[in-house]
Chains A and B, each alone.
Chain A
């Protein structure tokens, strides 16, 4: 399992930080001492008391995942400017969060909701719509957890460790402290993870260009490489305008529909906490923009990564001493733990509240809910681990891509009801079904590509299939709501 080219300094630094956060994960159960952890509000939401700074670290650690640090530079390295859509995406997400999430928080806090599907059921009284939102959340999250494992796998390999045992060990540690401490564990670890990532990135973006002759040299090297390759470029081709814009917008709308990001929202202490975070979280976006540029730095450094995913680790190994590379790899691996923990908690909350409580045991106590959720969080993580060990990584990638499309289809059901009573539950369910199934079918027939070309009014337009499916979803929901009547009339009729 240990290859000859292992860098022991890097390895020692990596292990030190990994063990440090593991201990923190277990200690987290005593943090902000709850009377009991045997309540889903405590285990699954950290007691709904996280203030501005904890939320900033938690959501930052949870939304900007390890996989982001690996995959965004990988895409920029492979295709150039197009990979930069992550930047407008993570800028536009915050005006959306600011406008929507304080309202969602208020509804959830008032009624004790734990998941988006809880909110939807309370609004529309439809078990089917609740189940649709819950299932979508779970299946969109599973491949996302698997991707965190891929991120961890990449840095573990870069350390010189081969085989699957290190990955399994890392993940089991994660599974156990999440089981025991719940959302408090990733919230506490997020402090360490985010500070480490900030250090790594700020050092990297200051020092790497110095070593490579400045940013103009970095961009020039990338430009030359794309010309030599004959594809990609540091400026978009006109055919990429619409894909770029729709991917950014669609991703921004989908981002806070995921169970893990919503868990961070619901765990906040107040609507003001969320508003302040919509102002403060863009600091991470700045970081992401700089991380993305590592894709170009790879060209300037003249490194030859084995695959695009290896760009960041290879760059660090080539340009930094072993101890700093080890620190950077630890930051990325720990960066995988925080989102993986919150994702499994979010998925477990959905299962517990919207399946177990809804169908198996409606009389379940809050303590019983916590017990079910803890077990499910283990199952979810083991499932993701099996996924990565047994299937090809491309399966997780493709499913995560579809996951974005899927979760975007819950936007109307979750968000519209916060602003209007015009839409009816059955209409939103039909819209979800059309968007989910239609979008999946289109993506499938396109060979699981995120873009689809449509002919319209004599021209042809290529755009993000998730946005296309969302348009169909909203049109169906609106037309049927006009026919069926809104939620008030719908409920009155049912009663």
Chain B
């Protein structure tokens, strides 16, 4: 499940994949809206991992 956290790295560090103007969305070239879209996607992936693994018992909750 934690591997989901690697997806943003794949999606954002492989630059040639998204370095283009088309297709555009609301006037934003692809390069821009694609990266901006990763903000909520990355947050959502982290949320999923948190719900699945959450309090992992690594003592990080003051217990």
Tell me the A residues contacting B by CB distance below 8 Å.
81, 84, 87-88, 91-92, 94-95, 98-99, 102-103, 105-106, 109-110, 209, 214-219, 234-236, 238, 240-242, 244-245, 248-249, 269-272, 274-276, 278-280, 282, 285-286, 289, 293
**In whole angstroms, how far apart are the Cα atoms of A219 and B9 in the complex?**
26
A98 and B46 within 8 A (CB): yes
**A-side contacts of B15, CB under 8 Å:** 236, 240-242, 244-245
Q: How many A-B residue pairs have CB under 8 A?
A: 127
Distance in Å from the Cβ of B24 to the closest Cβ of chain A? 7
| Residue of A98, A209, A238, A276 touching B16 (CB-CB under 8 A) | A238
With A95-B8, A98-B5, A98-B46 known as contacts, the answer to whether A234 contacts B29 (CB < 8 A) is yes
Distance in Å from the Cβ of B4 to the closest Cβ of chain A? 9
B24 and A216 within 8 A (CB): yes
A99 to B, closest residue via Cβ? B5
| Residue of A84, A105, A280 touching B32 (CB-CB under 8 A) | A84
With A238-B16, A271-B60 known as contacts, the answer to whether A91 contacts B50 (CB < 8 A) is no
Taking A103-B58, A106-B60, A235-B19 as known contacts, 5 extra A-B pairs with beta carbons closer than 8 A to each other, sorted by chain A number, are A219-B27, A275-B54, A280-B43, A282-B39, A282-B42
Tell me the B residues contacting A by CB distance below 8 Å.
2, 5-6, 8-9, 12-16, 19-21, 24, 26-29, 31-32, 35-36, 38-40, 42-43, 45-47, 49-50, 54-56, 58-62
**A-side contacts of B46, CB under 8 Å:** 94-95, 98, 278-279
A215 to B, closest residue via Cβ? B27
B62 to A, closest residue via Cβ? A270
**B-side contacts of A285, CB under 8 Å:** 39
**In whole angstroms, how far apart are the Cα atoms of A272 and B36 in the complex?**
26
**B-side contacts of A214, CB under 8 Å:** 27
Chain B interface, >50% SS class:
helix
**B-side contacts of A81, CB under 8 Å:** 19, 31
A286 and B39 within 8 A (CB): yes
B39 and A289 within 8 A (CB): yes
A289 and B35 within 8 A (CB): yes
Distance in Å from the Cβ of A434 to the closest Cβ of chain B? 25
Chain A interface, >50% SS class:
helix
**A-side contacts of B2, CB under 8 Å:** 99
| Residue of A94, A218, A234 touching B43 (CB-CB under 8 A) | A94
Instruction: Identify 9 residue pairs between A and B in the complex whose beta-carbon atoms are under 8 Å apart, listed by A's number.
Output: A87-B36, A91-B39, A94-B43, A99-B5, A215-B28, A238-B16, A248-B12, A269-B62, A280-B43
B42 and A94 within 8 A (CB): yes
**In whole angstroms, how far apart are the Cα atoms of A270 and B59 in the complex?**
10
A270 and B19 within 8 A (CB): no
**In whole angstroms, how far apart are the Cα atoms of A391 and B62 in the complex?**
46
**A-side contacts of B54, CB under 8 Å:** 272, 275
With A103-B60, A289-B36 known as contacts, the answer to whether A92 contacts B28 (CB < 8 A) is no
B38 and A218 within 8 A (CB): no
**B-side contacts of A84, CB under 8 Å:** 31-32, 35
A88 and B13 within 8 A (CB): yes
**In whole angstroms, how far apart are the Cα atoms of A218 and B28 in the complex?**
9
A249 and B26 within 8 A (CB): no
A289 to B, closest residue via Cβ? B36
Distance in Å from the Cβ of B39 to the closest Cβ of chain A? 5
Distance in Å from the Cβ of B63 to the closest Cβ of chain A? 9
**In whole angstroms, how far apart are the Cα atoms of A274 and B19 in the complex?**
33
